[in-house]
């Protein structure tokens, strides 16, 4: 009896292909082969590759932005404590998917629109935390952009992924100390 795959299985395989080889690797036949199933299964869950790509973007926005913000807020604490939690989560990420998605967005208007929305939401959340800490709006803007630029720049550098979890956590704490105090 053939193994039944759900939409989540296809998305997981597509994320893996995207992270390792880029958006061009997100193709129905190679994904089906990797999953050990016929490509007919794909069409139970997606109309076409375009729908799969749109689902990847939506899932990335949910997983890498909205869910993280929600988790930080659920954890609670002062704005300074939430900012540290956000830094720790952000610096723990290896950045491969973010790098691949940004490369994809360079040539695809749909991906570019989603990445712009993600960037805006992330920076807005940072700004909100810096404002809650007590920084004037102009300083909150600068600190938010500085943190975000450093994070995305770190993702762009391939050596960052090689840092140990302890090194990443230490980096998050140093950024927090430098930027959350006047």
What is the pLDDT at residue 95? 86
Q: What is the mean pLDDT of the chain?
A: 92
Reply yes or no on whether the pLDDT at 136 is more than 50: yes
Cβ atoms of residues 10 and 42 within 8 Å = yes
Residue 51 in any domain: the answer is no
Q: In whole angstroms, what is the distance from residue 32 CA to residue 42 CA?
A: 8
Give pLDDT tens digits for 72-109. Answer: 999 999 999 999 999 999 988 878 899 999 999 999 99
| CATH code (residue 37) | 1.10.10
Reply yes or no on whether the pLDDT at 1 is more than 50: no
Q: In whole angstroms, what is the distance from residue 31 CA to residue 19 CA?
A: 13
Residues 41 and 104 in one domain: no
How many CB atoms sit inside 10 A of residue 20's CB?
Answer: 10
Residues 68 and 152 in one domain: yes
Collapsing DSSP states into helix, strand and coil, what is residue 114?
A: helix
What is the pLDDT at residue 160? 55
If you average pLDDT over residues 15-40, what whole number do you get?
95
Residues 139 and 87 in one domain: yes
What is the pLDDT at residue 5? 86
Q: In whole angstroms, what is the distance from residue 73 CA to residue 82 CA?
A: 7
Residues 130 and 75 in one domain: yes
Residues 89 and 157 in one domain: yes
What is the pLDDT at residue 44? 92
Residue 176 in any domain: the answer is yes
Phi, psi of 4 (to 5 degrees): -95, 130
Q: In whole angstroms, what is the distance from residue 57 CA to residue 42 CA?
A: 17
Q: CB within 8 A of 117, min separation 6: which ones? A: 61
Residues 23 and 108 in one domain: no
Angle between helices 109-133 and 49-61 (to 10 degrees): 10
Give pLDDT tens digits for 106-134. Answer: 999 999 999 999 999 999 999 999 999 99
Residues 71 and 136 in one domain: yes
Domain extent at residue 68? 56-180
Reply yes or no on whether the pLDDT at 38 is more than 60: yes
* Percent of the chain residues topping a pLDDT of 90: 77
Residues 165 and 127 in one domain: yes
| CATH code (residue 94) | 1.10.357
Integer angstrom CA distances of residue 90 from 101, 147, 151, 173: 16, 10, 8, 11
Residues 77 and 155 in one domain: yes
**Number of folded domains that form the chain:** 2
What is the pLDDT at residue 167? 87
Residues 77 and 131 in one domain: yes
Residues 152 and 78 in one domain: yes
Helices (H) and strands (E) in the chain, counts: 10, 0
Reply yes or no on whether the pLDDT at 158 is more than 70: no
Q: In whole angstroms, what is the distance from residue 65 CA to residue 63 CA?
A: 6
């Amino acid at each position: 009896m053939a193994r039944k795959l759900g939409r989540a299985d296809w998305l997981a395989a597509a994320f893996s292909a995207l992270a390792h080889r880029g958006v061009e690797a997100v193709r129905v036949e190679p994904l089906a082969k990797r999953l050990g199933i016929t490509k007919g299964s794909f069409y139970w869950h997606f109309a076409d590759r375009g729908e799969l790509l749109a689902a990847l973007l939506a899932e990335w926005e949910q997983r890498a932005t909205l869910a993280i913000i929600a988790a930080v807020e659920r954890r609670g604490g002062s704005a300074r404590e939430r900012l540290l939690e956000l830094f720790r989560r952000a610096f723990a990420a290896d950045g491969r998917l973010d790098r691949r998605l940004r490369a994809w967005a360079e040539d695809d208007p749909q991906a570019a629109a989603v990445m712009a929305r993600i960037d805006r939401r992330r920076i807005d959340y940072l700004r909100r935390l810096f404002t809650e800490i007590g920084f004037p709006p102009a300083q909150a803007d600068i600190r938010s952009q500085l943190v975000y630029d450093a994070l995305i720049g770190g993702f762009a550098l391939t050596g960052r992924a090689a840092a140990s979890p302890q090194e990443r956590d230490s980096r998050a704490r140093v950024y927090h100390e430098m930027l959350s105090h006047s």
